[in-house]
Amino acid sequence: MDSPQDAPRAEDAETAPQHGYTSNKDAYLRRLKRIEGQVRGIARMVDEDKYCIDILTQVAAVNKALHAVSLGLVEEHIGHCVVGAASEPDPALRAETIDFKVKEATDAIGRLLR
C-alpha cells in the first residue's frame, strides 16, 4: 500500500500512478457503497432486534460481496502490476520487481484467507 507521502497531490493528478483497478474505479466505488448500505442495514436490524438468523444471512451476503471486490482487486494487481513489472527493461530490476509484486499479491491473498 502506498505510504502517505506517496499519496498524489491535486497538482500531481496528471502524473499520478495508474493502478490496475483505475479503469474500473467507478464500478468498485459503486459496489463498496452498496456494501456500506448493507452494513448499515445490518446495524439497523440489530438495533431493531431482528431474528439472529436473518442478521447472519445479511452478514454472509456482505462477506460474499467483499470477497468479490477483493478477488477483483487481486486480479487487477496481477494483470496490471505483476505483468507491468515484466516490461521493465533492466533484466535484474525486472526480476526483482516481479518477485516483489508477486510477493505482495501472495501476502494479500494470505490476509484474505485468514
How many other C-beta atoms can be found within 10 angstroms of the C-beta atom of residue 39?
14
Over residues 3-17, mean pLDDT? 48
Judge contact between 82 and 97, C-beta under 8 A: no
Angstrom distances, CA of residue 50 to CA of 37, 57, 65: 17, 12, 22
Q: Please report the pLDDT score of residue 36 as a whole number.
A: 98
pLDDT band of residue 23 (cuts 50, 70, 90) is confident
User: Domain 24-113 adopts which CATH fold?
Assistant: Methane Monooxygenase Hydroxylase; Chain G, domain 1 (1.20.58)
Per-residue pLDDT at 49 exceeds 70: yes
- Among residues of the chain, what percentage have pLDDT more than 90? 53
- Confidence grade of residue 14 (pLDDT, cut at 50, 70, 90): low
pLDDT digits (tens, 9 = 90+) for 56-73: 999 999 999 999 999 999
Residue-range domain boundaries for the chain:
24-113
